[in-house]
Every structure is written in C-alpha cells, then in structure tokens.
A and B are shown apart, each in its own frame.
Chain A
Amino acid sequence: MTLIHLAIILPVLAAVVVRIIYKYYRRLHLGWFVLPVPLIIVIYLMTFIPRVSNNEVVYETMHFMPRIGMNFDVYIDGLGLLFAILISGIGALVVLYSIGYLSREEHLGNFYVYLLIFMTAMLGVVLNDNVIMLYLFWELTSISSFLLIAFWHTRERSLYGAQKSMLITMFGGFMMLGGFLLLQNITGTASIRGMLESVALIQESPLTPFAIVLILLGAFTKSAQFPFYVWLPDAMEAPTPVSAYLHSATMVKAGIYLVARLTPLFAFSETWVWIILLGGLITMTWASFNAISKDDLKAVLAFSTVSQLGLIMSLLGLGALSVLTGANEAHFSVAVVAAVFHLINHATFKGALFMLTGIVDHEAGTRSLRKLGGLLTVMPISFTLTVITALSMAGLPPFNGFLSKELFLEAMIDVREADFGSLASVSFIFPLLAIVGSIFTFVYSILLIYGVFFGKRTYDTPKEPHEAPALMLISPIFLSVLVLLFGFFPNILSGTIIDPAAMSIMASDTPLGTHLYMWHGFNNPALWATVAVVIIGALLFYFKDKWTFIYDYHKERFTLNHLYDQGLIYSRLGSHKVTDSYMSGFLRSYLAYIFLFFIIMGALTFLNTGIQLDFSNLAPVGIQEIIVAIIILVSLAVILATKSRLVSIIMLGAIGFAMSLFFVFFRSADLALTQLAIETVTTALFLVCFYHLPKRSRHEERVRFKMTNFLIAVGVGVMAILLGLSAYSNRLFDSISQFHIDNVYELAAGGNMVNVILVDFRGFDTLFETLVFGIAGVGIYGLMKLRLNRKDEQDETHAKKD
C-alpha cells in the first residue's frame, strides 16, 4: 500500500465519511465536503508531471490475489497520468458545479457517494497495469454510472436509460473480460507491461483476432461507438453534472484509453486497425449527422460526444495503420499526438458545454431548442462561454479545437499516401468522411449557439430566464479559459502531457519534441479543408430549412434504438415461448421427459458398447416359480385393463404376495416375512384411501390407452431388461459376502446373516431407515391433523355433510 494506492481509493474512503456527515450535518451543502477529495488528488497527481515528462514511469504493486496473478499494480506513465489528471481535475470542477446545480432537497448523500465511487473506479481503470484488476474497476464504472443515471429514480425515462446503459456496457465488459483472459492465456501474464515484452507471442497466436474483437467490443460499448452509441443519448436523463463528468469527459473515454493503452500490443494486426479506423470514422460522421436533427440540447451534445469520440478513435486507428503499412514514423506520431490533444480539448470544451446546458436548463426550465431563443441579452456570460466552447468544438481558430481538428484533417489527408496495396483506389474515403463529419460538426455547433441565444425571444420557457449564480459559472469559466489557453499556448501541454502520453501509446523511448502552432502556412491542405468546412457548413446552416426534411426519411423503425427495444421485447417473448413450450405444468410431461431421457441415454450407451450376453451360469427353472411369475403377469394385466380401482388395489396386493413367494423360493426368509407384513398394511392403507376418494370421480374409469405413454413404458421396460441382462452377464468381481458369511458368528455372535448385516455390519443404514420411517409417520400425522386456516374447517364440515 503506497500513497498512490491510497490516492486511488481515497474517494471511496471519503464516500463513507461523506455519508456520515450527510446524516448528522445538513447546514452546509454536502458538495463542499466532497470538493477537497478531487482537489487533493489532482494536486498530488500534478507532482508526477516532471518525472513523467522526463520519461520515467512509476510502478507500485500491492498484493491482492497473487496466486491467480491478480494484483493491484499501479503504473503511471504519460497516458495514465493524462487521464488521471482529467478525471480528478474535471471531477473537482463538476463537484463545484453540482453545488450550485443540485438543491439541498435532493438526495445529496446518494449523489456524492455514487460520484466518489465512480471517481475511484475511473482512477483505477487508468492507473492500472493488471488487466484483471482493470476489468474490476471497469465494471465498477459501469455500476456507478448506472446508479448516477438513475439518480432521479422515480422517473421512468431515467430507469430506462440506466437499464440500457447497464445492459450495453455490461455486455461489452464481459466481452472484454473474455479478450483479457485470452490475452493472458497467450502471454502467460496479466500485466500489460509483461504482455508488451511478449508481443511476438501475440503476433503468432491464432487466438489474437478473437482477443482483439472481444476487447474492442468492450472499448466500443464503453466509448459509445457505432453501433453501440445508443445508450449515450438515453443516459442524458442523468443530472447534468453527471452528464458533464461521466458522459463527456471521463467514462466514455475509458474505451479510448483502452485502445490507446493496447495499441502497442495490437498495432501489427489488420483487424485492430480497420475496426478502429473505420468504426471511428463512421461513428463520427453518422453521429454528427444525427446531432442536427435533435431538439433537446443534451441530446445534441450526446451525439456530438459520440462523434468526437469517433474522431479520437479513428485517429488512434490511423496511428496503428501507419505501423501496419510501414509508413514513416511521422504519420504515426502526428495522428497519435492529434488524438491525445483532441482528447484533452474535448474534455475541456464538452465539459463546459454540458455545464452551460445545465445552466440554461436550470434558469429557463427547458432544454428544448424550440422553446429557447434570444437569451443573448439575458445571459451574456453564458453566451460568451458557449461561443468560446462551441466554436472550439466546431474547430475554428483561435480555440484549441481548431488545432486538434486541423491535425486530424491533416492526418486524414496524408493517410492516402500510405501503402494500401489493392485498396489504394478507395483511400479517398478517409478524408471524405472526415470532412463530411467536420461539416456537420460545424453546423450543429452553430445551431447550438444560434438556437439558444439568437433569434426571437419565445417567452414560453417554464421559468423566466436570468443569468446563473456565480457558483455555477466558475467551472465553465475555468474550462473556457483552458480552451483559450490551450488554443493560444498549446505548447505548455506538448512537452509536459501530450508527448509522454503519445510516447506511451507508441511505446517509444525517443522524445517526440512535438511543437504545436496555430499557423501552418497556405500550402497546408488541412487549412483549405477547414475553409471548405466553414463555407459549406455556413451554407448548410443558412439553408437549414431546405434540406432537413431528409431526417423525415430516417424513420423510427430503422433506428438502432428501435432495434434495441425490439431486441429486448423479442428476447423476453422468445424466452417465454421456449419456457412455456416445455414447462407445461403437467406432471405427465415432466415424467415423460425423465423417462425419455433414460431411454435415450440407455440406447446411446448400448449403441456405443454393444450388448454382451453370457448365460453360462443360470439357475434352474422350477415349475412353481413359473406359476408365480404368471400370477404376477396376470395381476399386472388386470391392473392395466380394469375399470375399477378396487380391483387394481387388490391386484396390487396380489403382486405383493406373489413377490413374497418369490422371496421364499429364493432363500430369503426375512424378506418374505417383511414383504408379507408390509403388503398387508399397504393394501389396507390403499383401501382406506379408496373409501375416502371422491364421490364425483369415484365412477370407475379405465386407464385410457395412450399410444405415447405405451411407447414410453415399453421403452423403459425394454431398457431395464437390457440393462439387467447385460449387467448380469458381466459380473466382474466376486461378492464380498463371503466375509459376512465367514465372520457372522466370530465377530457379531449371530447366526442370521441378514439380521446381523442389518444391525451390526451395516447398522447405520438401519438407523436412518428407522429415521425415514419416523419422519413419514410424523409427516402423515401432520397431514391429517394440521389445519392452518378456518377455511379448512369449513371444508371439513362440508365434506362431512357430503
């Protein structure tokens, strides 16, 4: 247990304290007590920056379950540190913001406990070297996210969204665990650093593509990539601080983190590269296209998040592609640097945008773009901040989004020069998709600003809008300042954060010396691409009413949401149907299954082994035994054929007495005695029950002949005969009874061997047989005497009257 471990679990420890504080002290908003936790962590993590930028790594281990290789191995390098600082830093801002956003009437205790659990889970994911522990924390993020989405658990939409995100991310999580286990199987270690040392094994193993697909399923579900993005828009039912924190800045980037972390392991693989690159690009374009049609501000932002995550994902894929195709290092590093840089930028502007949306919602009472409008003069500060952050999202200068967006376009345009082999003719698809996605991004960013702050005041908002309190504005102001700061002075990040992170993604030791600058000169194609994006975007925005009718063609029933809903409904109906088809509730069906299974298993066994019969040592047949056998057969036939139950009971008695005759013939005196006595009592019992049986159905009825029943019965009988014959024919050992015969007098001082066995050699059997008998007696007594309610007594009197 080191200080780093303590830092990771500090939020959970704090959650306990926070809960106690909430119980006994309500005067101050609970958020103030939570705020120091992420602040302490972020300050502590900042102290690692100098070490990490000097290319050092920090590795601390804590034994958890060493026998199965599951240890709490904390590993801090550039990538982990970047994410950890994002998590704790934005965590602090979100806590601050939530103090203003959530009133003290809410269940603040729950809220902050969930949030703190989430913080630990996220820190655990990004600062972990052990894949199994990583999975543990990964699922903890899913669970805490589930709890946070359903924070207002009385609303149906919240529950729906929480369930959906739970199902999808848990599905991905399980798949990912499968991938990790495969990976552990291939390399023999659960440590990511250990795996890096045996990349050769991963390259050779035929299991690698499966591991890749499974792990990417985890990453894609978590990071809301196509087609698993459907949960993210529904997760917007969460309180806005949660949306800002989990669903824009941190949790949805866990998949990105995973991909970035494992890039050095898998970059050689075509599966890996193409899934990430194309998956990311498709997600980016598709989500940005869909964002325009949304009316709810948070839905727009949700789709925008999906789209930006796709952008980052595709950049990571591009980085891996240059390794695959053997292109020069420079392409690789540009793409990876762009990914890391955009990751930071997205966290800053998207966090701020969510908070601003929350402010608008909080002050105007609605998030619908149709109801909002003309708030420019009412909320000037929010307006300014929205312009800064939304334009950064659109990728305009002088904000930080411009820099990373331009790096993105540059990388996407350059990628055509890579060696694609036979695919060279379709390589134009990358820049095309990238530019189309960027155009839509521009359009919805402008739409966001215009829809809320320009146009007519509609005056039908539920509340009279006014500027937000300072408490809520601090966090978005801080983030907007970062947007500007990183825009104008990107190089404060490049040496300290971006380079170490990019180097850990590339697993290289040589410093990159990245230098980011706003102006690339006129001969840069990315600049012209940006200009084209702005012009086309502006035109599209201006003529918005002319072309948005195409969204009407995108009918509800073709959406992925619809597919998900139908999938749920049909899986429920299907399992109902399957279960109902065999769980009929009839005793007969279940008995039939059991007997059929017996027949089938027996038949299969005989088919496999064949039947070996050996009748060399049979006992002689006596005439009296034949007669008894015939008596039994006749009685059986009568039981089966008779209409009368009385007759069948008497015939059952006859079988019993015939059995005792058999016991006499076969030298078993005690058995014959017991059988006689018991058969008498049984018959008497049957007769008593028969007397009490219903009048209504006492009319005698035959067992009606049923073909299936007959076949099953014949099958079981034949199988029993075959089993008996073959078992008899294959006697492998002599009986152990010679011991009992020899020692019955010497050891047990008795002459009757059966009785000595019962009470001496195998006395325990007898003891518990007696117990069975006693239990049956008590049970019968209970059945006869116990009356749990008065209804029984009434029935009793009715029965008497009958």
Chain B
Amino acid sequence: MEIITIVLAGILIGSAVYLMLSKSVIRIIIGTAVMSHGVHLMFLTMGQLKRGNIPVLDDDVSNYADPLPQALILTAIVIAFALTAYTLVLALRSYRELGTDNVEEMKGVPHDD
C-alpha cells in the first residue's frame, strides 16, 4: 500500500509543479493546493499506514495508528488553507488593480495569445 501512496503523492507533486509553471494565477494557486495534498499524503505514508486502530483510547484495543503524524497534518492542512485563501484574495485584488490574471502581463509583457 505504501508504494501506491508514495507514487500517488509523487504524481500529485509533479502535476502541481507543472501547474505552477503556467502563466495563469488561478492555475498557480490550484498547483499549490494540489501540492499540499501530495505532501500531506506523503506525510501520512511516512507515519506507516493501517497499523492498528483509530487513535482514540479504548479499553479493548492495544494497538493504535500513530497519532503524531495525524496531528502534524492537521496543523498543515489548516495552514495550507489559510495560505490558499490569502493567495486567492490576493489574486482577485491584483486582477482588480492590474486588470490581468496572467503573471507575465503583470510584469508588463504583452499577452501572446
């Protein structure tokens, strides 16, 4: 299972890179969101998958999944969301100010399509 999730995370990260290298601001932000998913998945995998029960204390269970990576990912999800929200609004505002959502036009280079 771990091999599958690692490869999946790698594909997510690679696609995110491809999106981030494009010109449109919205696509770049989508790219960052995709990348955060990839990273979270990688994180979870590194903490080992499906070893034991859900980490809530139960008298009958002695074997729990690792709670520490979960706590870390939870923090990361919230921070990634804050960042995405902020960059989205920034993109919106910069579109209103500059009249474009193309990062190359923002530099002052004419649109080429």
Q: Is the CB of B57 within 8 A of A769?
A: no
17 contacts between A and B (CB under 8 A): A591-B17, A640-B19, A659-B37, A659-B40, A669-B56, A682-B84, A712-B17, A713-B17, A713-B18, A717-B10, A717-B17, A721-B10, A752-B55, A754-B55, A754-B70, A773-B78, A783-B86
- For A735, list chain B residues within 8 Å (CB): 47-48, 66, 68
Which of B66, B77, B84 contacts A685 (CB under 8 A)? Answer: B84
Interface centre among B29, B49, B90, B111 (most CB of A within 10 A): B49
Chain B, range 14-55, C-beta contacts under 8 Å to A: 14-15, 17-24, 26-30, 33-34, 37-38, 40-42, 44-55
Q: Which of B4, B74, B88 contacts A686 (CB 8 A)?
A: B88
> Which of the residues A636, A716, A728, A736 comes within 8 Å of B2, measured between beta carbons?
A728
> In the bound complex, do residue B45 and residue A724 qualify as a contact, i.e. CB atoms below 8 Å apart?
yes
Beta-carbon contact of B10 and A718 below 8 Å: yes
Quick one: given A619-B50, A692-B92, A753-B64, are A591 and B27 in contact (CB under 8 Å)? no
**Residue contact B83 to A776, C-beta cutoff 8 Å:** yes
Q: List 4 additional A-B contacts (Cβ < 8 Å) besides A655-B12, A703-B24, A724-B45.
A: A586-B103, A640-B15, A710-B18, A724-B6
When distances are taken between beta carbons in the complex, the residues of chain A under 8 Å from B40 are 659
Given that A675-B77, A681-B81, A685-B88 are known contacts, is A619 also in contact with B1, CB under 8 Å in the complex?
Answer: yes
Closest 7 CB pairs of A and B: A717-B14, A721-B10, A713-B18, A776-B82, A753-B67, A751-B57, A724-B6
B residues within 8 A CB of A744?
Answer: 57
Instruction: Give complex CA distance A632, B38 in Å.
Output: 11
Residue of A nearest to B72 (CB): A765
In the bound complex, do residue B18 and residue A640 qualify as a contact, i.e. CB atoms below 8 Å apart? yes
A606 at the B interface (CB under 8 A)? no
Identity of the chain B residue whose Cβ is nearest the Cβ of A585 in the assembled complex: B107
Contacts of B73 in A (CB 8 A): 668, 671
- State whether the Cβ of A424 lies closer than 8 Å to any Cβ in chain B: no
Q: Which residues of B contact A737 (CB under 8 A)?
A: 66-68
Partner of B14, one of A615, A639, A716: A716
Q: Which residue of B lies closest to A779 (CB)?
A: B86
Does the CB pair B34–A636 fall under 8 Å?
yes
Distance to closest chain A CB from B103 (angstroms): 5
How many B residues touch A, CB cutoff 8 Å?
A: 88
Q: Given that A713-B14, A720-B10, A758-B74 are contacting pairs, would A682 and B33 also be in contact in the complex, using a CB cutoff of 8 Å?
A: yes
CB-CB contacts below 8 Å: A631-675 with B? 632-633, 636, 639-640, 645, 648-649, 652, 655-656, 659, 662-663, 665-671, 674-675
Q: Which of A586, A674, A753, A773 has the most CB of B within 10 A?
A: A753
Tell me if A632 and B12 are in contact (CB < 8 A). yes
A679 to chain B, nearest CB (A): 9
**Given known A636-B15, A648-B27, A753-B67, contact A586–B74 (CB-CB < 8 A):** no
Minimum CB–CB distance from B107 to chain A (whole Å) comes to 5
A641 CB to closest chain B CB (Å) equals: 11
Selecting from A112-120, A446-454, A620-628, the interface stretch reads A620-628
Binary interface encoding of chain A residues 694-731 relative to chain B, with 1 for a CB under 8 A from any of its CBs, else 0 = 10010001011010011011101110110011011000
Complex: A718 Cα to B40 Cα, angstroms: 17
The verdict on A689 contacting chain B, using a C-beta distance below 8 Å, is yes
Please pick, from A675, A724, A758, A773, the residue contacting B9 in the complex, using a CB distance under 8 A. A724
Which residues of A sit under 8 angstroms from B23, Cβ to Cβ? Answer: 588
- CB proximity of B28 to chain A, nearest CB, Å: 8
- Kindly list chain B residues whose C-beta atoms are within 8 Å of the C-beta of A689: 26, 88-89, 91-92
Bound-state CA distance A716–B82 (Å) is 25
Q: Is the CB of A720 within 8 A of B38?
A: yes
Q: Are A740 and B101 in contact (CB under 8 A)?
A: no
Contact across chains for A718 and B86 when beta carbons are under 8 A apart? no
Closest residue of A by beta carbon distance from B8: A629
A417 within 8 A of B: no
Instruction: Given A659-B40, A754-B74, check contact A586 B104 (CB 8 Å).
Output: yes
Q: Which of A663, A690, A703 contacts B44 (CB 8 A)?
A: A663
Q: Contact check: which of B12, B15, B46, B83 meets A727 at CB < 8 Å?
A: B46
Contact of A703 among B22, B33, B83 (CB under 8 A): B22
Name the B residues within 8 Å of A753 (CB-CB): 55-57, 64, 67
Report whether A736 and B74 are in contact in the complex, using a CB–CB cutoff of 8 Å. Answer: no
Residue in A678, A706, A718, A736 whose beta carbon sits within 8 Å of that of B77 in the complex: A678
Across-interface contacts of B70 in A (CB, < 8 A): 668, 670-671, 754
Q: A residues within 8 A CB of B64?
A: 741, 753
Residues of A within 8 A of B20 (CB): 591
Known: A670-B74, A671-B77, A780-B85. A716 touches B99 (CB 8 A): no
Q: How far is the CA of A636 from the CA of B48 in the complex (A)?
A: 25
Q: Give A306-341 interface residues, CB cut-off 8 Å to B.
A: none
Q: How far apart are the CA atoms of A690 and B92 in the complex, in Å? A: 9
Check A656–B37 contact: CB distance below 8 A.
yes
- Chain A residues lying within 8 Å of B4, measured Cβ to Cβ, are 621, 625-626, 629
Q: Which residues of A contact B29 (CB under 8 A)?
A: 686
Query: Which residue from B41, B82, B86, B93 sits with its C-beta under 8 Å from A662?
Result: B41
Q: Let me know if A633 and B100 touch, CB within 8 A.
A: no
Of A592, A619, A633, A682, the residue contacting B49 (CB under 8 A) is A619
Residue of A668, A716, A780 touching B65 (CB-CB under 8 A): A668
Cβ contacts under 8 Å, A712 to chain B: 17-18, 21
Q: Say yes or no: A694-B27 contact (C-beta < 8 A), given A716-B14, A717-B10, A744-B57.
A: no
In the complex, the answer to whether B54 meets A703 with C-beta atoms within 8 Å is no
User: What's the minimum C-beta distance from A623 to chain B, rounded to whole angstroms?
Assistant: 12
Knowing A636-B15, A724-B46, A769-B78 touch, does A694 contact B26 (C-beta < 8 A)?
A: no
Chain B residue nearest to A698 in the complex (CB): B101
Judge if A745 is at the interface, Cβ distance under 8 Å. yes
Chain B residues near A745 (CB, 8 Å)?
57
Given A636-B34, A667-B55, A735-B68, A769–B84 Cβ distance below 8 Å? no
A426 contacts chain B at the CB level, 8 A cutoff: no
Provide the bound-state CA to CA distance between A740 and B66, in Å. 9
Which residue on chain B has the smallest CB distance to residue A669?
B54
- B85 pairs with A725, CB closer than 8 A: no
* CB-based nearest A residue for B42: A724
